[in-house]
Amino acid sequence: MMDPYLIALTLMAIWYILIKTKGTKRTKKIEYRQSDIHMVVKKFINPVSYDHPSRQSQSEKHAEKNSVKVIFVDDKAYWVSNNVFYCADVDNGNVDTESAKPIDVYNLDKNDIKKLLFILDKLGDGSSNDSGSSGDKRL
């Protein structure tokens, strides 16, 4: 037969363990990061609704302000600078700046004016960041 003191001591130890562990849960808490929630939610949201517009940096603004678009047509280069339409000869793919002169639109015939309007439209085409092409568009 077992000793009653040993039985009492064992029951007190079990009771003590049950009382101390009753308040604690043995399940692991699941935590979600913001990126986990985003991955689940983005499947249900239209992607256009949460896309942010790209912002233009200060260096991009400076480059745009100090750059000039040039179009090459029939061995001539055309550009607009300070609201003046210029034309210059092209030599081996380089603009001959010494031959640059403003275009006098008053002394042009109808076909030349249509050509210049087409060139002017092409100079205005494209976004502020039109680096998607090589920039060497031959017309």
Q: Label residue 15 exposed, middle or buried (CB < 10 Å: 0-12, 13-18, 19+).
A: exposed
- Whole-prediction pTM: 0.48
Using DSSP, state whether 70 is helix, strand or coil.
strand
Which amino acid type is present at position 68?
V
Using DSSP, state whether 80 is helix, strand or coil.
strand
Domain membership flag for residue 90: yes
Domain membership flag for residue 120: yes
Residue 131's pLDDT band, with cuts at 50, 70 and 90, is very low
Q: What are phi and psi of 16, to 5 degrees?
A: -60, -45
**Spatial contact of 77 and 87, defined as CB atoms under 8 Å apart:** yes
**How far is residue 129's CA from residue 124's CA, in Å, rounded to a whole number?**
12
Domain membership flag for residue 101: yes
Residues 46-86 have pLDDT tens digits of 666 555 677 788 998 888 888 888 888 888 898 888 888 89
pLDDT for 88 equals: 92
Number of folded domains that form the chain: 1
**Spatial contact of 123 and 80, defined as CB atoms under 8 Å apart:** yes
Domain range enclosing 97: 69-124
pLDDT for 28 equals: 64
Residues 6-54 have pLDDT tens digits of 788 888 888 888 777 766 666 666 777 888 888 887 777 766 655 567 7
Domain membership flag for residue 25: no
Question: Stretch 81-107: mean pLDDT, rounded?
Answer: 87
**Spatial contact of 88 and 95, defined as CB atoms under 8 Å apart:** yes
Rg of the chain's alpha carbons, rounded to an integer?
Answer: 38
Domain membership flag for residue 129: no
Domain membership flag for residue 118: yes
Domain membership flag for residue 1: no
Residue 116 has pLDDT above 50, yes or no: yes
**How far is residue 130's CA from residue 97's CA, in Å, rounded to a whole number?**
24
Report which of residues 136 and 87 the model is more confident about. 87
Residue 139 has pLDDT above 50, yes or no: no
Domain membership flag for residue 31: no
